[in-house]
Amino acid sequence: MKNLILESEPLVVFSPDVDSNQAFAELEIQLIGNLNLSVIDSASGRPVSHALISMDSIGKTAVCGACGKVSLHDLNSGKYLLDIISPGFIAQTISLSIHTTGTYELEVKMISNI
């Protein structure tokens, strides 16, 4: 993990079929995270546009925009491998752990292979 920042508190969700007298007895906690990812060139500090982002274990993929940024939403709590691939750069795999509800910020510095 690199530069991972948690920005909010856990979300408490009540099951819709629980009456108000039993609400706390049948409390369910659902942990969902969002990932804001910035991909930059380690030498120049410039954004890496069109980098492919993949989380194969859950079938999520995305492509960074021209600004080198992308967001992945609705990630359940757990551990993930995040693959980042872009032509002209060494591919990276990063281990990521979503452990509480919130928005995570991650900056990845890519190294040129040219």
**CATH number of the domain where residue 49 is located:** 2.60.40.1120
Per-residue confidence (pLDDT) for residue 72, from 0 to 100: 93
Q: Over pLDDT 90: what percentage of the chain? A: 59
Cβ 95 vs Cβ 2: under 8 Å: no
The domain of 94 spans: 5-110
3-state SS, residue 15: coil
Q: How many domains does the chain have?
A: 1
* Model pTM score: 0.70
pLDDT attached to residue 12: 35
| pLDDT tens-place string over residues 27-71 | 445 568 899 999 999 999 999 999 999 998 899 999 999 999 999
pLDDT at 7: 37
Compute the distance between CA of residue 39 and CA of residue 81 in angstroms, rounded to an integer: 16
